[in-house]
Amino acid sequence: MREWHLPVRVEALKVLVSGYQSWSEAELRPLTDVQARPAMAWRHDQGHDPGFLPSGLGGVWRSHTLIALVRGDGGGWVGGVLDATRTFAQWETRVEGDGVQVTRTLEGPEVPVVWEETADVTAAVEALAARLGRAMGARQPAPLRVWCSWYSYYRDVTLDAMLENARLARERGLPFDVFQLDDGFQADLGDWTRPAAHFGGHARDLPGPLRELGFTPGLWLAPFLVGPGSQLFAEHRDWLVRGPDGGPLPVGHNWGGPYPVLDTTHPDVLPWLRELTATARAWGYPYLKLDFLFGAALPGVRFDPTVGRADAYRRGLQGLRDGAGQDAFLLGCGAPLAQSIGLVDAMRTGPDVAPYWDDHTRRVWLGDGTAPSARAALHTSLSRWYQHAWYQPDPDVAICRRELSLLSAEERGTVAGMLDVIGGLRASSDPIRMLDEEGLNLLRRCLEVSRTDRPRTLTRSYGPAVTHFTRAT
Ligand code: 9PG
């Protein structure tokens, strides 16, 4: 642990923070504000680092990897680390009297730390992020345009729905690169090769027809998770990370309850993970959305107690990359952000989009800023603009349809405009048959990739927007 004390007028400062994984909040806020902490305990391990939760207190801000304090003149202080392969860096700023105390803790091996005063925080944050990206061998692929089944079909997705949308996209000349099947095709978490009854086929049936239509096939996996009713669970109970009581560590609350997670330090787990992505590849999927990756980085009891949780995570992700191949396109999701650099091509940099602007009750009254909404997805990804140096950011899908959506025309347009500012992946989940002329035109606009595809100088032209970005009225 190290500490710095800054004798400054705290009322004039803002703080830039980022939670450790895709779905945790990132924001630029007045230093004296309250950092929200979810009231519900079940949100703590699914959206945040349970070992370093948001403070929930006024004047106390917590951030992973990187932090910045911004003066009114755009100058300030920037802190960060130059290696995150096996280390979590946890930063805290605390208003103390008329100054600020900054504390930094490293969980894992020692790594080089930068703490500097600067006349231009935007530039310094970008430079620091770029140094970390270079040090960890960040992959810089071209951004892709993706159709994803999740935000319309959810777990009820079928083979027929995938094929219908791919055919219609081709007929309408929509310029998607990838058609990606999301959660719902599999019998259970872990039982990836057995299809769900409702899917009406097998995941391996899809790549052929998609290729004929000219699209790259994409597949969703939550490779570290294990359904409590799965065959994988029944056969390999010894492969799981354990909790303090010796039983499987309960992770998250999706799919109707907590689910165990694979222990990537167990000698049999890495070969299984490699086999899984190799199998998906052999079925014809070179694009993989690897979701709920945070599970492998949670604190718990592992087979090899000498391996730290950041290290354990990275070993698991390396196994998935090795199985998929160097030329596969890997999108991380629900994933530790900095610890994934160099192993993923793209990364979800915010919570899920939903077909409404804001979930005010969960965000404000329950302190849960990672609840799905268009506002949360955009706000968080905008506040992580510098992570362009780590991978292609994925701010999640645009919603251009009018049916099954509460977004106004203005809000749909705002989403489209902000996605262009953020850059990175361009994605949609709209059933193509629901799009009228206006919807198709908006979607075409969303799929346009600008030549440089880097964020516009965000805090200069969009400064107030990043902090107080509210609905366009
Ligand atoms: C499939 C979905 C989609 C989606 C992913 C992810 O914090 N949470 O409780 C939480 C639950 C689900 C979730 C995100 C956050 O959705 O982001 O795109 O793939 O899984 O189940």
d(C-alpha 17, C-alpha 131), whole Å: 18
d(CA 389, CA 373): 26
Q: Which residues lie below 8 Å from residue 459, measured CB to CB, with a gap of 6+?
A: 28, 74, 121, 122, 385, 466
Pairing state between β 178-181 and 216-221: parallel
Question: pLDDT tens-digit profile of 68-117?
Answer: 999 988 999 999 999 999 999 999 999 998 889 999 999 999 999 999 99
Rounded Cα–Cα distance for residues 356 and 251 (Å): 28
Residue nearest to atom 11 of ligand 1 (CA): 254
Answer yes or no: do 441 and 382 share one domain: yes
Pairing of strands 26-30, 14-18: antiparallel
Q: Are residues 104 and 215 in the same domain?
A: no
pLDDT of the residue at 462: 39
Q: Is residue 352 annotated as a catalytic residue, yes or no?
A: yes
Q: Which of 21, 22, 23, 221 to mutate to test the pocket of ligand 1 (most atoms within 8 A of CB)?
A: 23
Q: Pick the last residue of a domain from 115, 135, 155.
A: 135
Cβ contact 90:48 at 8 Å: no
Percentage of the chain exceeding pLDDT 70: 95
Residue type, 68: A
Name the domain boundary from 135, 156, 190.
135
Distances (CA, A) of 414 to 36, 176, 357, 418: 25, 21, 10, 6
Q: What are the tokens at 47?
A: 């959206």
Segment 132-154 mean pLDDT: 96
* Cβ contact 418:378 at 8 Å: yes
Q: Are residues 191 and 112 in the same domain?
A: no
Instruction: Say whether both 115 and 224 belong to one domain.
Output: no
Which atom of ligand 1 is nearest the CA belonging to 371?
7
In this structure, what CATH number is given to the domain that contains residue 374?
Answer: 3.20.20.70
Helix (H, G, I), strand (E, B) or coil at 409: helix
Give the pairing of strands 191-195 and 186-188.
antiparallel
> Is residue 161 domain-shared with residue 299, that is, in the same domain?
yes
Does residue 83 lie within any of the structural domains?
A: yes
Is residue 306 domain-resident? yes
28-53 confidence digits (pLDDT tens): 999 999 999 999 888 898 889 999 99
Q: Does residue 468 have a pLDDT over 60?
A: no
Mutate to test the pocket of ligand 1, among 149, 150, 154, 397 (most ligand atoms within 8 A of CB): 150
Which residue among the candidates 291, 358, 359, 430 is catalytic per the annotation? 291
ipTM, two decimals:
0.98
For position 60, what pLDDT does the model report? 97
| Distance (Å, whole) CA 295 – CA 259 | 10
Would the pLDDT of 229 be above 50? Answer: yes
The pLDDT-based confidence of 350 (bands split at 50, 70, 90) is very high
Q: Both 96 and 160 in a single domain?
A: no
CA of 352 from ligand 1 middle (Å) equals 7
- Residue 206 Cα distances to 163, 185, 217, 469, angstroms: 8, 11, 8, 40
Mean pLDDT of the chain, nearest integer: 93
Q: Which of 6-20, 107-121, 197-211 has the lowest average pLDDT?
A: 6-20
- Whether 233 and 227 have beta carbons less than 8 Å apart is answered as yes
Q: Are residues 73 and 164 in the same domain?
A: no
With CA atoms as reference, report the closest residue to 10 among 52, 57, 58. Answer: 58
Q: What is the pLDDT of residue 417?
A: 83
Q: Which atom of ligand 1 is nearest to the CA of 396?
A: 18
Residue with tokens 């602007």: 357
140 within domain boundaries: no
Q: Domain residues for 421? A: 145-468
Lowest mean pLDDT among 64-73, 245-254, 408-417, 458-467: 458-467
What is the rounded distance in angstroms from the CA atom of residue 255 to the CA atom of residue 355?
Answer: 21
Q: Give domain status of residue 21, yes or no.
A: yes
Residue 452 binned pLDDT confidence (cut-offs 50, 70, 90): low
Sign of CA dihedral 66, 72, 73, 76: negative
3-state secondary structure of 316: helix
Q: Answer yes or no: is the C-beta of 333 below 6 A from any ligand 1 atom.
A: yes
pTM comes to 0.95
The pLDDT tens digits of the residues spanning 159-172 come to: 999 999 999 999 99
pLDDT digits (tens, 9 = 90+) for 186-203: 999 999 999 999 999 999
Active site residue 183: no
Give residue 449's pLDDT band: very low, low, confident or very high (50, 70, 90).
Answer: confident
Examine the domain organization and report whether 363 and 386 are in the same domain: yes
Cα–Cα distance measured from residue 399 to residue 172, given in angstroms and rounded to the nearest whole number: 17
Q: 463 pLDDT exceeds 80?
A: no
Mutate to test the pocket of ligand 1, among 155, 254, 368, 373 (most ligand atoms within 8 A of CB): 254
- The answer to whether residues 124 and 157 belong to one domain is no
**Cα Dmax for the chain:** 66
Rounded Cα distance between 379 and 366, Å, is 18
473 domain-assigned: no
Q: Of 228, 297, 292, which is closest to residue 263 (Cα–Cα)?
A: 297
DSSP 87-122: -EEEEEEEEETTEEEEEEEEESS---EEEEEES-HH
Write down the pLDDT at residue 465.
37
Tally the domains of the chain: 2
153 in the same domain as 44? no
User: What is the rounded CA–CA span in Å between residue 185 and residue 155?
Assistant: 8
Contact 4, 48 (CB under 8 A): no
Classify residue 211: in a domain, yes or no.
yes
| 254 pocket-lining for ligand 1 (C-beta < 6 Å) | yes
Indicate whether 461 belongs to any domain.
yes
CA 281 – ligand 1 centroid, Å: 23
Mean pLDDT on 272-295: 98
Confidence (pLDDT) at 140: 87
Task: Classify residue 459: in a domain, yes or no.
Answer: yes
Contacts of 264 (CB under 8 A, 6+ apart): 224, 270, 273, 296, 312, 313, 315, 316, 319
Q: What digits encode the pLDDT tens for the residues 378-426?
A: 999 999 999 999 999 999 999 999 999 999 999 999 898 888 888 899 9
In this structure, are 169 and 112 located in the same domain? Answer: no
- If asked whether residues 120 and 169 sit together in one domain, one would say no
pLDDT tens per residue across span 297-312: 999 999 999 999 999 9
Which of these three, 116, 135, 154, is where a domain ends? 135
